[in-house]
Each structure stands twice: as structure tokens, then as C-alpha cells.
Amino acid sequence: MKDNRFNWQVSKLDDVDIDQLASETKLSQTMVKIMVARGFKTGEDILSFIDEDMSIVHDPMLLHDMQKALDRIFVAIESNEKILVYGDYDADGVTSTTIMYETLDQLGANVQYFVPDRFKDGYGPNLKKYQHFINDEGVQLIITVDNGVAGNEAIKFAEDQGTNVIVTDHHEIPEVLPEAYAIIHPRHPEGAYPFGDLSGVGVAFKVATALLEEIPEEFLDLYAIGTTADLVSMTDENRFLVKMGLEMIPNTQRIGLQKLIEISGVDVSHFDEQDIGFTVAPRINAVGRLENASRAVELLTTFDEEEATTIAQEINKINSKRQGLVSDIYTEAEEIALDDEHASRQTLVIAGHDWHQGVLGIVASRIVERTNKPTIVLSDQGGNGIYKGSGRSVAALNLFEAINPIREKCVGFGGHHMAIGVTVEADQLATLTDQLEKAAQLVNLDFKQQPQLQIDLKVNIEELTEKLVSEMKILGPFGMNNPVPKFELEDVRVKEAKAIGKDGAHLKFTLDDGNQNINAIAFKRGELADVLNNVANPISLVGTINTNEWRGNVSVQFMTDDIKIDGLQVIDQRTSNLNKNLFKSDMQYVFFNQKLMDLIQSQNLNRKFYYYSSSAIEKNDTIVLVDCPDNLAKMAELIKATQPQRIITYFFHNVDFYASGMPSRIEFKQMFGIVKTQKLTKTDIMQLGPKLKIDQEKINFMIKVFFELNFVKIENGLLFINAEAEQHQLTEAPAYKKREELIQTQEKLLYSSGDELSAIVERLMNVDNKGVS
């Protein structure tokens, strides 16, 4: 059984002088190796990356239609036209809305904002809402943020009515762009902006910069949240501006953000991009997933401390509700994903009823993680036949391009490479399913192929220091295209593995390489606790490092992404006490002793029991060796026949089934003396054990040896010396040889260390059965 879930790819180090680079940059050799693995070849390259400054921030006027948009906005401000900022309901959209609204308000504009309701209005320009704002509220200029590039119908209506629309967006550009007054997009086909990976908040920030004619540092906290939350590339100006924003957040003037961070339990003094990704962004997103995200904009714009506290508490409760919904829906969706109908598919379209549509994207992400298949999860509501949901993909399949050919058959559709939102009528579910599967076939997608996991460096535990954790911060903030450095630890031992957390979902353990040890955590791998506590093999791991503080003590902790148990796994669970719990799993249990197998089988445990020589033994990933073989040749024969990847060894042994050692020469002499001086009945023989203080099993064995060497014979139920016997060595008796071999086998299998046992089994897999010892 393979425990690693990824295909590990270790970066190659160019032929550079690590010592020289370390001297030039004043960095540790390990840190320099990380930089080299990421393509930095000179000290100048490394120092330039470390010392990035404001010069990396690009001129917003390079964005397509920026000047045209500015001119129109200033006309609207001067004419006191009603301006509407039309936003979006995720963290990127909420922060975009806040920046655009506050910028225009600061310039004296007559401005209001609107965040669509995910369930009533859907994503992007909504025709009915445009009609309402234009016809009923007299809006004369609409500025979209984090949406609009695919809102052709609503935007055409607005322009036809004389209401101009300025689109600011970053999503995938469709074949036909809307007829907007201006479209500001970092990847506009007619544009030449040098960095195409801005988020929605990034584009809004650029517009704000152009309007204010300076970089608005007061918005950098929002830039950091929106950019990190939307999983865009954390390189170029994104990395620099997010870094500045993270430095601002501990002292942010936004009362609402302060309260949200406080109620989330985050230590603001050590705030980083992970705190955004795991605490702040999920809470902001939760509002838009379950309710109206305008409440999140209110949180970020309020100056009232009491109101900020109230909203932060509301949002925290909504997030808890979101977590419960995700858990419940995922359980149902996973069952569908793994059923017979879906198991052989390269992709998944999973449709449910009355699932909360606001959390389906999260469920889809988890299904992708579970199955390695691009997944779309949808649901109707109240049997209305309209299935709305979200899709998530793998790197090898552009999900937007996969579904785009049938967009005219969708009620709604939009997104990008890794994520889409889609709505279809019930009769188009099959079309959606077929199209996704067809797209996967076109790119030769294979869900059975493990996704790649890029590793920066192979290291020893001694290299994983607090200093390295501190040094690595120069690479951050981390995110897409700039991941946290990943390390591989090879051939380490596990100590004290235990399942922790709710339902034992997570794994906590200690790693030891013979020189040093380090504490480790593996999320969602709690099922490996028993395996790692008993496996005789060394293991390899991939993960990241951070520091953990407990009662004032700071230590480095290995955050495990994947685990690999190299070679044949030998799980050492040797025991002298068989009980029903040892047979609770549905595996192949193999016996070398027929009598013992019959005894266990009589307990009706409903498991697969096999005698080692049975031709019915199947090839299997995992086999359990319940008892000890007479010799290693039998074990080698079994292993070669079954070709397991994992062997669990119980090697049950006690005197009822196995020898209790070889009788000594003195014991043989005692026994021979008794037989020589008197004829023995069966009853006499059964009483010899206590009389001579020798195990009765040994008494029976010595008599068998005497018989095989013709030293004794039986007449009329009496055992006595054969006076005509020839002289022989005890070791010539077949029983003696067999027992000697059994004892040697037991010594190797029962009393070896875990490492020795693993080595013995590995050797048995690779040698000819003849002469195995």
C-alpha cells in the first residue's frame, strides 16, 4: 500500500558555488540552496529579490483604457452624477468594492456601492439590477469591480440607456467582450500591462492609484487580503504590495478589521498571509456564501467601534455555520464521487438537492483533493430544476476552457483555469457531464496519475533551525507561484505517533534521524498513527517548517504534506496474545499452523483465512502473518506468491503451537537415563515433566528424537530402551533438525529488532527459496 499521495519532484541545483553565494548574501547555505533551486544563480539576483522596492510597482496608466476611464470618472464627479460601484461577494470582491467606494468618496463623488446577493442576483452584472439602478435610481455611471468582463447583456442595456459602464476585472476574457465604455483588465487583448496576474482588488487599487495620483497606502491592508484570498500569483508587484499590506495590518486603522482579527483568535503581532488564508478571508467569504456580503463591506468601512464589534461577531457565527454545512454536504458528495457510476470517470459532475449553493465551491475543492479529478458540484433548490454550483480543477485541465464551448447551454457561466461558477437547467446536466469528460480526454487526463509535488531541497533534521524559519521570510509573502519552501527528509524514524483532533483526524509524531529529532504534524492523516507506530521501515516525508511556541519554549515543527514508506512495509505487531480485535480489518490473514487456523476460524470472525500452502491465496497489497513459519523458506514462498506491498506481522507464539527451545544435553541425558532404567507407561511419560522439572512439550520431543534414532521402542503399551540400537548423534534425527531450524527461525522473527525484521523480510523477497536461512 502506497501512502504517498503525490509524485515527488526535487528541484535540481545548478552548478554554482554555494559557499561563495552564502558569503556574498550573508545567508545560510541551506537558504542559498533554496534560492538556487528557485532559479536564482548569482548573489546579485538573490539580493535584488530580497531588497525589492517601490520601483517594482507598475504604472497604472499602462492598463488598457485607464486614461479613458479616468476622464469619464472625473466628469462624473464634477457633474455630480450618480456613480454606482457594482461589486462581488467574495473576499476579493468585498475588498475591491471598499477600495473603489472609498476612493471615489474621498474625491467627493456622489457614489454608492452594491454587492450582489449570490442567490438572488448571481455573479456579475445582473440585467434586472442594472435596470433598477438606471431607471429607478438614476445612476449615470457604473463601475464594476472584480466582475463585468462577461456581463455583455446588462452592460449593453446600460450603454443603450446612456449610462456608461467602466469594467474593472481580472477574470478570464471571453471571445466577445462587452460593449462597455472602458474595460480595465491586466490581460486585455489590446493592452500591454507588464503583469497579468492582478486580482480584482489589484485592478481596483490601480484605478485608485491613478485617480489619487499616488500609491494609496491606506488601502494596502485590503490589497493584501483580496490578493491572498483570490489565489493569484504571489510574484512581481503582488508580492511586494501584499508584503507592505501585511506590515500595515497589525496597526490598521480599520476598526472592523481589527475586531475580526481579534475575534478570530489570531496573534496580530505575528500576522502573515496564512492568517489571511485560514482565518480572515474564510470569514469574509462566508458572509457572501450564506448571506449578503454588503455586511462585510460595512465591516471594512465603519468608523463605529460598537458597530464593528457587532458585525465581526455576526460574521464569526456565519463562518461557524458555513463549516457545518460544508461538512454535511461533503459527506453526501463524497459518497456519490466514490460510487460505482462515478469511480471510473476522469471528471465528476455531482448534483444534489437543496444543498446550500453558497458552499459548493469548497465542497468541490475537497472532492478534487480526495479524488484528483476536476469536479463540479451543483444543487437545485426546492425541486426547481435549476442547478447552480461551482467547479474546481487540477493543473492539467483549464476548467474555463473545458466548459466554455457549451456556455450558450448554461443559464450562467464564468470563471478561470482552476475555478468556475455555472448554472444549468436539469436537462443540461448530462451535457455538462459529457463536455467535462470530453475535455479531460482531449488533454489525456489521468486521475490515477499522482499530482506532482515540487520539493525545493532534501535536508537533514539538523538543517531545520529557527534561523532558517526566520531567513525564509525573505521569500514571502507566499502564495501561487511562490510557495512556502518544501523539504524532503529521507530515512527517518517515527516515534510516538498519535491521532489527534476531532475524531482523530490529524497526526502528531516525532521524527528522528539518529542524530536529532523534530516534532511533526500531518493534517488529515490520523489514520496512519497505528501504521507509523509499528512500521519497521524508515520513512521519507515532504513538508514545510514553522516555529511552535508552548509555555515560552520555541521549537521548530515539521508540517507534513506527504509521507512515503519506502520499499516493502513491514508493520511490526508481534504478539503472544491473539484476540478478536486483531482480526477486525478486512484483510488476508495467513497461517503456517493448520491447528491454530482451525481454532481461530471456529470463532466465525468472517474474515479471509489462508493456510500458507493454499493455492487460493490471492495477490494482495496487504497480508497479515498471524503465526510463525517453521522455516524462512516457507515465508519466502508465501511472499513471492502474494507480492504484497505491506506485511503485518503478528507472529503469534506460545507452547501450545511452537517449541519452547531446544532441550539441553543434560536434559537429553536425564531423559535417556529414566527410559534406560524402567519401562514407562503413557501415564508415566505424562508425569515426567513435573518430576524432572522440564517442560512436558520438551519431554514429548525428546522421546520422538529417540524413536527416530531407534533408541527406544514400544511393546504392550510400554516404552523402553532398544538394546540393539546403533550409535547416532542426536542431531541426525529429522525431528531434531526440524526443531533446530524452527528455533533459529523463531529467534530471527520473534526476537529481532524492528529494523532487523524489516531487513529479513526484504531479503526474503529477493532471494531464491532454495537455501533460505
DSSP string, 581-642: GGG-S--EEEES-HHHHHHHHTT----EEEETT-TTPPP-SEEEEEE--SSHHHHHHHHHHH
**Domain shared by 473 and 520, yes or no:** yes
Give strand ranges (E) for 68-159: 82-86, 110-114, 141-145
CATH number at residue 579: 3.40.50
pLDDT score of 655? 59
> Rounded CA gap, 30 and 45, in Å?
17
What are the two backbone dihedrals, phi and then psi, of residue 17, each rounded to the nearest 5 degrees?
-85, 100
Q: Does pLDDT of 356 surpass 90? A: yes
How buried is 572 (Cβ within 10 angstroms: 0-12 exposed, 13-18 middle, 19+ buried)? Answer: buried
**Domain shared by 101 and 209, yes or no:** yes
Q: Does pLDDT of 767 surpass 70? A: no
Kindly compute the dihedral angle of the four CA atoms of residues 167, 172, 176, 178, in this order, to the nearest 10 degrees: -10
Q: How many CB atoms lie within 10 A of CB 738?
A: 13
| Sequence-distant (≥ 6) Cβ neighbours of residue 39 within 8 angstroms | none
Average model confidence (pLDDT) across the chain:
92
- Total domain count for the chain? 5
pLDDT tens digits, 65-77: 999 999 999 999 9
> Rounded CA gap, 319 and 465, in Å?
36
Q: Does pLDDT of 684 surpass 60? A: yes
**Domain shared by 146 and 169, yes or no:** yes
**Domain shared by 284 and 135, yes or no:** yes
Q: Does pLDDT of 584 surpass 90? A: no
**Domain shared by 256 and 138, yes or no:** yes
Q: Does pLDDT of 199 surpass 70? A: yes
Q: Where are the alpha helices (DSSP H) in 107-166?
A: 127-131, 152-160
Checking DSSP bridges between strand 82-86 and strand 141-145, what pairing results, if any? parallel
Domain-ending residue, one of 288, 317, 346: 317
pLDDT score of 560? 97
pLDDT score of 770? 47
Cα 346–chain centre separation: 20
Under DSSP, the state recorded for 527 is G
Q: Does pLDDT of 393 surpass 80? A: yes
Kindly compute the dihedral angle of the four CA atoms of residues 85, 90, 95, 100, in this order, to the nearest 10 degrees: -10
Report residue 747's pLDDT band, with 50, 70 and 90 as the boundaries.
confident
**Domain shared by 581 and 712, yes or no:** no
Q: What is the pTM (predicted TM-score) of this model? A: 0.79
Of the given ranges (188-202, 421-435, 742-756), which has the lowest mean pLDDT? 742-756
**Domain shared by 73 and 173, yes or no:** yes
**Domain shared by 539 and 673, yes or no:** no
In a domain, 326, yes or no: no
Under DSSP, the state recorded for 63 is S
pLDDT over 90, % of the chain: 72
> Rounded CA gap, 761 and 753, in Å?
12
In a domain, 773, yes or no: no
> Rounded CA gap, 616 and 630, in Å?
21
Domain-ending residue, one of 381, 415, 442: 442
Average pLDDT over residues 273-292: 96
Q: Where are the alpha helices (DSSP H) in 193-253?
A: 200-212, 220-229, 236-248
Q: Does pLDDT of 517 surpass 60? A: yes
Report residue 769's pLDDT band, with 50, 70 and 90 as the boundaries.
very low
Taking Cα atoms as reference points, which of 485, 562, 535, 553 lies closest to residue 647?
A: 535
CATH number at residue 349: 3.10.310.30
pLDDT tens digits, 130-144: 999 999 999 999 999
- Angle of helix 734-750 relative to helix 696-708, nearest 10 degrees, comes to 140
> Rounded CA gap, 534 and 520, in Å?
17
| Sequence-distant (≥ 6) Cβ neighbours of residue 519 within 8 angstroms | 508, 509, 510, 511, 548, 555, 557, 558
In a domain, 448, yes or no: no
pLDDT score of 1? 42
Q: Does pLDDT of 773 surpass 70? A: no
CATH number at residue 177: 3.90.1640.30
| Sequence-distant (≥ 6) Cβ neighbours of residue 411 within 8 angstroms | 386, 388, 423, 424, 425
Cα–Cα distance list, 393 to 422, 439, 513 (Å): 14, 12, 38
246 residue type, one letter: L
Kindly compute the dihedral angle of the four CA atoms of residues 622, 626, 629, 634, in this order, to the nearest 10 degrees: -30
pLDDT tens digits, 65-118: 999 999 999 999 999 999 999 999 999 999 999 999 999 999 999 999 999 998
pLDDT score of 657? 57
Cα–Cα distance list, 85 to 8, 142, 168 (Å): 46, 6, 10
In a domain, 772, yes or no: no
Q: Which residue has the higher pLDDT, 83 or 554?
A: 83
Average pLDDT over residues 486-514: 92
In a domain, 51, yes or no: no
Under DSSP, the state recorded for 293 is T
Of the given ranges (35-49, 393-407, 610-624), which has the lowest mean pLDDT? 610-624
In a domain, 187, yes or no: yes
pLDDT score of 580? 85
In a domain, 48, yes or no: no
Q: Does pLDDT of 359 surpass 80? A: yes
In a domain, 519, yes or no: yes
pLDDT score of 570? 85
Residue 587 C-beta-side C-alpha neighbours within 13 Å: 20
**Domain shared by 470 and 411, yes or no:** no
> Rounded CA gap, 516 and 259, in Å?
42
pLDDT score of 433? 97
Checking DSSP bridges between strand 419-425 and strand 412-415, what pairing results, if any? antiparallel
Report residue 614's pLDDT band, with 50, 70 and 90 as the boundaries.
low
Give residue 721's domain range. Answer: 665-732
> Rounded CA gap, 689 and 248, in Å?
85
> Rounded CA gap, 114 and 644, in Å?
61
**Domain shared by 18 and 91, yes or no:** no
Q: Does pLDDT of 178 surpass 80? A: yes
Output b/e per residue, 594-612; b: 16+ Cβ within 10 A: eebbeebeeeeeebebbeb
Which bin fits 65, alpha (ψ -120 to 50), beta or left (φ > 0)?
left
Cell triple for residue 28?
A: 545560510
Domain-ending residue, one of 286, 317, 348: 317
Q: In this structure, is the dihedral angle defined by the CA atoms of residues 596, 599, 603 and 609, taken in order, positive or negative?
A: positive
Taking Cα atoms as reference points, which of 570, 489, 491 lies closest to residue 534?
A: 570
Cell triple for residue 422?
A: 455555472
**Domain shared by 577 and 561, yes or no:** no
> Rounded CA gap, 207 and 167, in Å?
11
pLDDT score of 764? 84
**DSSP helix/strand/coil, 459:** strand
Cell triple for residue 24?
A: 556574498
> Rounded CA gap, 218 and 228, in Å?
17
CATH number at residue 536: 2.40.50.460
**Domain shared by 25 and 77, yes or no:** no
pLDDT tens digits, 233-250: 999 999 999 999 999 999
pLDDT score of 659? 61
Report residue 520's pLDDT band, with 50, 70 and 90 as the boundaries.
very high
| Sequence-distant (≥ 6) Cβ neighbours of residue 65 within 8 angstroms | 166, 182, 183, 184, 188
Report residue 656's pLDDT band, with 50, 70 and 90 as the boundaries.
low
Cell triple for residue 536?
A: 519497521
pLDDT score of 713? 92
| Contact present, 97 and 88 (Cβ < 8 Å) | yes
Q: Which residue has the higher pLDDT, 667 or 763?
A: 667
